[in-house]
Amino acid sequence: MADTKPTNGAWQDVRVSLGPDAEVTGKLSFATPTRIEGKLKGELRASDLLIIGAQAVVQANVHAEKLIVLGEVRGQVEGASRVEICAGGRLFGDIETKCLVVQEGATFEGRSRMGGELGVAAELPEPPEPRLTI
């Protein structure tokens, strides 16, 4: 069986947890490490670690500093310095992050944009004029 633990061992830091029986709709904001195991619809903001547990189904746009996905996320993920989709985790949506880790056995369906300053499109230099020298 594949190892489903995040590679950075961060789950010991969790201070807030929404259990598997929780069903929440709306905007949620967290400033401390948080783990979601229930169902959530809407918008999710975390200025620290956010873990989407194996039983969780999240249909929300997610803005998190660090995101670990063990369950299912459907929505855009933005502003993350690190997104990790663990084996068995499923993420359906576009990701904007500095670091993306997709473990073997994980599902990611969407586009990713990584590196550099997030939210700032890199400007490409103009191509040189074509020249022919004989």
Task: Note whether residue 133 is domain-resident.
Answer: no
Please state, in angstroms and rounded to a whole number, the distance separating the CA atoms of residues 49 and 3.
Answer: 20
Number of H helices and E strands in the chain, helices first, is: 0, 13
Q: Is residue 123, in this structure, part of any structural domain at all?
A: no
In a domain, residue 127? The reply is: no
Residue 76 phi/psi, 5° resolution? -80, 145
Instruction: Evaluate whether 102 touches 90 at the Cβ level (below 8 Å).
Output: no
Q: How many domains does the chain have?
A: 1
pLDDT tens-place string over residues 62-76: 999 999 999 999 999
pLDDT 10s digits, 31-46: 989 899 999 999 999 9
The answer to whether residue 14 is domain-embedded is: yes
Give residue 38's domain range: 10-114
Q: pLDDT tens-digit profile of 4-58?
A: 455 455 545 665 666 777 778 889 898 989 899 999 999 999 999 999 999 999 9
Which of 22, 8, 81 has the alpha carbon at shortest distance from 53? 22
